[in-house]
């Protein structure tokens, strides 16, 4: 069997997709990754630190990027998507569209284009909490390390100005979307997750009060390359935050929103409590939880965070978040279930631990895959489309790595058994 017979397509270049790709390629398979963003790494690239070790996400990502760079059997397309799939296990024909970046491989990320660019666009990596120039590097550790020109300025004099400022001829304003077909034996579907839309949980105040943020936004507020340079500031007035309330199960385990538990939110909030405690010595964190889910080896991390007397864990379902006019802060109200009393706590920032929802909850690709009631991909029966990572169920990075490795093995079997 030749190499071509073992071509595997990986859709989604998050930690699950890139893990599946490198594991499969290192056994000799040819792998193509199709990623929607202009960079690889997915949501992990947007984290400040990983629990339980609290190391930066670049730790895990850099190693994988190096494995991709060093392996000629892996190719990838960013700003790309799958349009259609036909065929059968062992012989799929996949139509792929690559959208234009308007920047070619000559780019050295020198930033000269951004210097002359005046238009700004919402900064997606920071969940729109700030803006970037329309000629931008997706983030400081982006792979590929290349600028992007936002389509907003294409066709304007500003785009021409950016192009003229580039000393390397790296801006190509004539770039067009390209569509092509790939023949592959197996497909790994690793399109990951999105945060639940917090504005739907009206009583928790997201969208009404600027100091109510989601857990994914809080990761960016704490990140050195985030909108505040890693200082945790109240979005309303830029004042240093000293008190932060973490509201667990924001919309989760709730029939009106997400009926299931996302499993990682408790650990994410415990981790985020350390962000504020480390930065501001006289700060206080309040974690309002239904039950703390910190299973197996994560129990030690939970115990360690609990030992900080300025982290209060309160068993409670929060019923309301409102503005506290006097302090400019937020009032968090609910019931303290263990003490049998009311919770009324004023804080600077409220962080909503929103659940993880598969991208496939909203848009189901037109192909042979089975879903559960929430849109997670449950499998593909006898088909050669193998789901991996958070598109299957909410999971942390360690579980995503294991799942992706298993998916790589399954894909190799499908591709070989044609």
Q: 303: which residues sit within 8 A by CB, 6+ positions away?
A: none
Q: Where are any strands of DSSP class E within 28-119?
A: 30-34, 74-77, 80-88, 91-98
CB of 75 to ligand FAD, least distance (A): 15
- From 6, 7, 8, 17, residue interacting with ligand FAD (rule: CB under 6 A): 17
5 or 124, CB closer to ligand FAD? 124
Taking CB under 6 A as the binding criterion, the range among 130-138, 160-168, 191-199, 329-337 that sits at the site for ligand FAD is: 191-199
> Pattern of binders to ligand FAD over 22-61, x per CB under 6 A?
------------xxxx----xxx--x--xx----------
The Cα–Cα gap between 30 and 16 comes to 17
For residues 266 and 249, the answer to whether their CB atoms sit within 8 Å is no
The Cα–Cα gap between 19 and 358 comes to 19
Per rule CB under 6 A, is residue 396 in the interface with ligand FAD?
Answer: yes
Query: What tokens appear for 390 in the block?
Result: 């958070």
128 or 167, CB closer to ligand FAD? 128
Per rule CB under 6 A, is residue 264 in the interface with ligand FAD?
Answer: yes
Q: 294: which residues sit within 8 A by CB, 6+ positions away?
A: 266, 267, 270, 301, 302
Among positions 340-369, residues that touch ligand FAD (CB under 6 A) are: 356, 359
Per rule CB under 6 A, is residue 14 in the interface with ligand FAD?
Answer: yes
For residues 344 and 336, the answer to whether their CB atoms sit within 8 Å is no
- From 78, 191, 252, 283, residue interacting with ligand FAD (rule: CB under 6 A): 191
> Pattern of binders to ligand FAD over 371-390, x per CB under 6 A?
------------------xx
235 or 387, CB closer to ligand FAD? 387
Per rule CB under 6 A, is residue 16 in the interface with ligand FAD?
Answer: yes
CB of 164 to ligand FAD, least distance (A): 32
The Cα–Cα gap between 416 and 418 comes to 6
For residues 77 and 98, the answer to whether their CB atoms sit within 8 Å is yes
Per rule CB under 6 A, is residue 397 in the interface with ligand FAD?
Answer: yes
Per rule CB under 6 A, is residue 395 in the interface with ligand FAD?
Answer: yes
Burial of 416 per CB tally in 10 Å (0-12, 13-18, 19+) = middle
Among positions 216-235, residues that touch ligand FAD (CB under 6 A) are: 216, 219
The SS3 of residue 294 is coil
Is the bond preceding 167 in cis, omega lying within 30 degrees of 0?
no
Site size toward ligand FAD (CB under 6 A) is 37
196 or 209, CB closer to ligand FAD? 196
CB of 34 to ligand FAD, least distance (A): 5
Burial of 237 per CB tally in 10 Å (0-12, 13-18, 19+) = exposed
The Cα–Cα gap between 298 and 268 comes to 11
175 or 367, CB closer to ligand FAD? 367
What angle (nearest 5°) sits at the alpha carbon of residue 146, between those of residues 57 and 42? 35
CB of 217 to ligand FAD, least distance (A): 9
Which among 117, 127, 111, 75 has a CA at the least distance from the CA of 96?
75
Among positions 69-88, residues that touch ligand FAD (CB under 6 A) are: 81
Taking CB under 6 A as the binding criterion, the range among 148-156, 295-303, 391-399, 407-415 that sits at the site for ligand FAD is: 391-399
15 or 331, CB closer to ligand FAD? 15
* Residues of the shown chain interacting with ligand FAD in the complex, contacts defined by CB under 6 A: 11-17, 34-37, 42-44, 47, 50-51, 81, 190-193, 215-216, 219, 264, 268, 271, 356, 359, 389-390, 395-398, 400
């Amino acid at each position: 069997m030749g190499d071509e017979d073992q071509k595997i397509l990986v859709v989604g270049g998050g930690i699950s997709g890139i893990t599946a790709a490198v594991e499969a390629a290192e056994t000799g398979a040819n792998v193509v990754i199709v990623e929607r963003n202009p960079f690889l790494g997915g949501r992990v690239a947007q984290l400040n630190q990983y629990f339980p070790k609290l190391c930066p996400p670049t730790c895990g990502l850099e190693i994988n990027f190096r494995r991709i760079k060093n392996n000629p059997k892996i190719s990838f397309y960013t700003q790309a998507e799958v349009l259609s799939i036909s065929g059968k296990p062992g012989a799929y024909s996949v139509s792929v569209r690559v959208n234009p970046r308007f920047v070619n491989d000559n780019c050295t990320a020198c930033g000269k284009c951004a210097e002359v660019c005046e238009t700004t666009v919402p900064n997606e990596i920071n969940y729109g909490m700030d803006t970037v120039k329309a000629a931008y590097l997706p983030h400081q550790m982006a792979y590929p390390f290349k600028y992007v020109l936002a389509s907003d300025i294409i066709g304007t004099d500003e785009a021409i100005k950016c192009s003229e400022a580039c000393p390397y001829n790296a801006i190509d304003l004539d770039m067009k979307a390209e569509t092509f077909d790939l023949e592959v034996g197996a497909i790994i579907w690793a399109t990951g997750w999105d945060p639940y839309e917090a504005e739907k949980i009206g009583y928790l105040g997201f969208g009404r009060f600027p100091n109510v943020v989601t857990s994914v936004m809080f990761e960016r507020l704490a990140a050195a390359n985030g909108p505040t340079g890693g200082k945790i500031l109240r979005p309303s007035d830029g004042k240093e935050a000293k008190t932060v309330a973490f509201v667990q199960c924001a919309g989760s385990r709730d029939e009106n929103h997400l009926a299931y538990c996302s499993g990682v939110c408790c650990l994410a909030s415990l981790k985020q409590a350390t962000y504020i405690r480390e930065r501001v010595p006289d700060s206080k964190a309040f974690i309002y939880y239904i039950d703390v889910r910190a299973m197996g080896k994560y129990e030690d991390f939970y115990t360690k965070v609990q030992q900080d007397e300025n982290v209060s864990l309160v068993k409670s379902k929060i019923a309301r978040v409102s503005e506290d006019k006097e302090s400019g802060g937020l009032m968090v109200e609910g019931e303290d279930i263990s003490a049998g009393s009311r919770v009324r706590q004023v804080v600077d920032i409220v962080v909503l631990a929103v659940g993880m929802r598969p991208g496939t909850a909203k848009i189901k690709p037109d192909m042979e895959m089975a879903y559960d009631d929430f849109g997670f991909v449950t499998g593909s029966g006898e088909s050669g489309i193998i789901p991996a990572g958070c598109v299957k169920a909410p999971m942390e990075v360690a579980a995503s790595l294991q799942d992706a490795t298993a998916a790589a093995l399954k894909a190799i079997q499908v591709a070989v058994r044609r």
